[in-house]
Structure 1
Amino acid sequence: MTETLARADLLALADGDEERVFAAEVIAFLEEHHPPRTPADASWGTGPEALSLFHETTDEREREESRLAQGWQRTKWDAGFGWIAGPEAYGGRGLRPSFDRLYRAIEGHFAVPDMSPLRIGLGTISPVLVAHGTPYLIEEYAVRLHRGDLVGCQLFSEPEAGSDLAGARTKAVRTAEGWVLNGQKVWTSNGSFADVGLAIVRTDPAVPKHKGLTMFLVPMDTPGVEVRRIRQLTGGSSFAETFLSDVRLDDAQRLGEPGAGWRITNQALAGERRSVGDRSHELNARALGLLKVLAERVRRSDDPLIRDRWARLYVALYSARAQQVRMQATPEDRLTGAERAIDKVVVARTYRDLGALAAELLGPAFAADTGEWGTFAWTKWSLGALGFRIAGGTEEIIKTMLAERVLGLPREPK
């Protein structure tokens, strides 16, 4: 940072003397490597429309983005910022999770590479490895994920199970040499270039479904693993389907005890839901600004109904942001899972409502591409919003969980 005031603002994010010393170290490190980040431009007609909610690019470009993210992660590791809250025995700094949150808050103000390709490995896979993995699994996968050597993916969802992850049919059969996996997974982010997948599979079909699941780490180059990209409604291919055909794994690849997979899955999902909210609020704020200009351009900015809907979105957006900040400030051991579920539902609803207001303002131009900037591009936003109602757990499933487990309402009839 070149301005004293900007540095002071970043230091003000710290809580207490210990965090301020750490924040100063972080700022100096980031200043050495990257310039301050330029805020997203909400000016009408300027630059890319950027109204796709899911990352959509070529396979070659996605691999290049992963390479850049891994390079930056290695730089962070070498400087002591690659695993801030990680165990010191494995190369981490052993600091409280609040230091990791502080680092991410400061890093967000610098023009670092997009770290999305590493988010699953760092935010979903690594925490469950530390909590449930053997020293071998932590050293072989968690350390290498944080060092930037590996990219991770989730092998959870299945074609016939939907958000009912406990209904997984992919099975693992124990043999004298280890395990043999057969089945199909779907909606695999990073699937085409990931090095390792966290897979929930059925190991005991004779017990209730939640008790017959086991978690494995699957090297994606294992014989029998086949990945195929999925073409989406928007025309992009952000996800893949993964086929497991007689995939042989050593028992050392098992995470936790046989049958303990559901408990580990819930911990992993908490990280996924948190990441959905983490990256959404700036995107929503830019979209809200574009809608304001759009209302002016179509001469409906004085329409009381439009003004009311826009104001409601404004309040919803900043309420969601406040919920996210509150959640990030809560120690991990005090989070119940409900906070992240609420955040996911609120974010998905905001996406949907932003798209609905765009459709109201645009009329036929929402569905017919005239080539005008900021019009037809909203179609990709709304189609992507449908996907976010599924990502991290289907909206209906999460609402049912909140109703029954948080509000104490009667259970849904089966």
Structure 2
Amino acid sequence: MDFARVELGATDREFQERVRAFLAANVSDELLRAERATGDGVILDLHRAMGARGWLEAEATTVDEGGFTAIQKRIWDLERRRLGLPLERWGATMMILQAVRQYATPELLDEVLARVYRGEALFSMGYTEPEGGSDIATCKTRAARDGDGWVINGQKMFTSGANICQYVFLLTNTDPAGKRHRNLTMFLVPLDTPGIEVQRLQTVDDDSTTITYYADVRIPDRYRLGEVNDGWAVLSGPLAAEHGAVDSADAGLTDITTMSNFGMAMAISADLAVGLATADGPDGRRSLNDDAVSYRLGRAHSRIEAALSTPSLFGRVAIAQAMRDIAPELMDVLGGAAALASSTPGALADGEQGPEYLYRWAPLVGIYGGTIDVFRNMIAQHILGLGRPTYVAPTK
């Protein structure tokens, strides 16, 4: 692993200054608190301001297309993270955008690309269904031909952001009697289409997600992505990106796995715990002087560093599992006050850095895009070549 320091040239320093000036002028504590109250994963006014300045198009395009260089993209990433900006909806849109650009018709691209770049359109993921869980290929949401268009009926779970996004990247079944994975078709469906109902759900970590219902939703064929019954090929790119099953960029400046930003939030909580442990207690003693406390905090930091240094699917599992293990450890080390939410008098931390928030967040990180066990099976089967897992008892 290369830990070399990147020295910024004059152009990149000027870019960093422009980014910091833009964020300083457009981001406030009030905006961040308002977003955290909704859990929507985006600050819409800020997002549109980024689009108006050309930041979104530059992030979403290559250098050859006029986009950011590798160093500029890393600066852009880090400066937003430094302020704790919510990027979930834009991150999902970026994953889906690669498939839209590859498979959409010119007519559909004309409709959506400029809107995405201006910050006026976001995409949500419409994969999971109530009966399917992580096995999204069991899709029962039906899309049936109707003249020159389609009629869609069904239901999706965890279509996060559908309450504020403009399109849903929707997985449908177009041949119920067809072969598994060869009976699926992808659509980019406008969420203001009649027949779509969005039900918002608050999650235990103060985030939000949605259930979406589709009742005789009629759309023109131009919203289809790729060929009929070839939806798995369309979905494979965004799915691999969400799973973290992609290689890091050659420049070596990007995250080495998906969810690294979540791992950094965990590191911030662990640093906060160390800071609190070094403070003098009511009896004048520091809890860090206790060998058990220093050992457990040291072990937590070692786990975090190892997780953040682990690539691909392995890193995704390492980060999610480390968070589940470390969050209760930090709370136990810090004592009863660590169980208080940040808005509660006597809480140890404000915002999302406290151990109590990390504890509530950890189980959800372990199911984003599929459970930890699903990813362990993917590693075993597709990387280690150990064969398909067996989920039923053998017959006698």
**Residue type of the partner of 2:123?**
G
Equivalent residue number for residue 369 of structure 2: 392
Equivalent residue number for residue 42 of structure 1: none
Q: Distance in 2 between the 1:37 and 1:285 partners?
A: 27
- Deviation of the 1:368 alpha carbon: 6.4
- Deviation of the 1:24 alpha carbon: 5.5
Change over 3 Å in CA distance of 1:293–1:77 after alignment to 2: closer
- Deviation of the 1:301 alpha carbon: 1.9
Equivalent residue number for residue 71 of structure 1: 49
Q: 1:408 aligns with which of 381, 385, 392?
A: 385
Structure of higher RCO (CA pairs closer than 8 Å, 6+ residues apart): 1
- Deviation of the 1:306 alpha carbon: 3.4
TM alignment of 1:105-184, pairs within 5 A: 105-107=74-76, 108-109=78-79, 114=85, 116=87, 118-184=89-155
Say if 2:236 is the partner of 1:266: yes
- Aligned to 1:193, what secondary structure does the other structure show? coil
String of CA shifts for 1:37-62, please: whole Å, max 9, x gaps: 99xxxxxxxx99x9x9xx74138xx5
Equivalent residue number for residue 22 of structure 2: 33
Equivalent residue number for residue 315 of structure 1: 302
String of CA shifts for 1:251-306, please: whole Å, max 9, x gaps: 11011111222222231123334585242243122111112134445754234343
The TM-score with structure 2 as length reference comes to: 0.79
Q: 1:102 aligns with which of 66, 71, 82?
A: 71
Unaligned runs of 5+ in 1: 1-8, 14-19, 39-46, 328-338
Unaligned runs of 5+ in 2: 245-256, 392-396
Q: Distance in 2 between the 1:397 and 1:117 partners?
A: 22
Equivalent residue number for residue 210 of structure 2: 240
Q: Distance in 2 between the 1:294 and 1:204 partners?
A: 58
Identical counterparts, % of pairs: 27
**Residue type of the partner of 2:47?**
A
Q: 2:318 aligns with which of 335, 342, 346?
A: 346
- Deviation of the 1:407 alpha carbon: 1.1
- Deviation of the 1:121 alpha carbon: 4.9
Contact map agreement 1:63 1:193 (CA 8 A) in 2: no
**Residue type of the partner of 1:106?**
I
- Deviation of the 1:308 alpha carbon: 3.0
Q: Distance in 2 between the 1:261 and 1:70 partners?
A: 31
Q: Distance in 1 between the 2:22 and 2:340 partners?
A: 44
Change over 3 Å in CA distance of 1:167–1:295 after alignment to 2: farther
- Aligned to 1:217, what secondary structure does the other structure show? strand
Q: Distance in 1 between the 2:176 and 2:55 partners?
A: 42
- Deviation of the 1:362 alpha carbon: 4.3
- Deviation of the 1:388 alpha carbon: 0.8
Equivalent residue number for residue 335 of structure 1: none
C-alpha RMSD of matched pairs (Å): 3.5
The TM-score with structure 1 as length reference comes to: 0.76
Equivalent residue number for residue 293 of structure 1: 275
Equivalent residue number for residue 291 of structure 2: 304
Contact map agreement 1:201 1:214 (CA 8 A) in 2: yes
- Aligned to 2:297, what secondary structure does the other structure show? helix
Q: Distance in 1 between the 2:338 and 2:55 partners?
A: 45
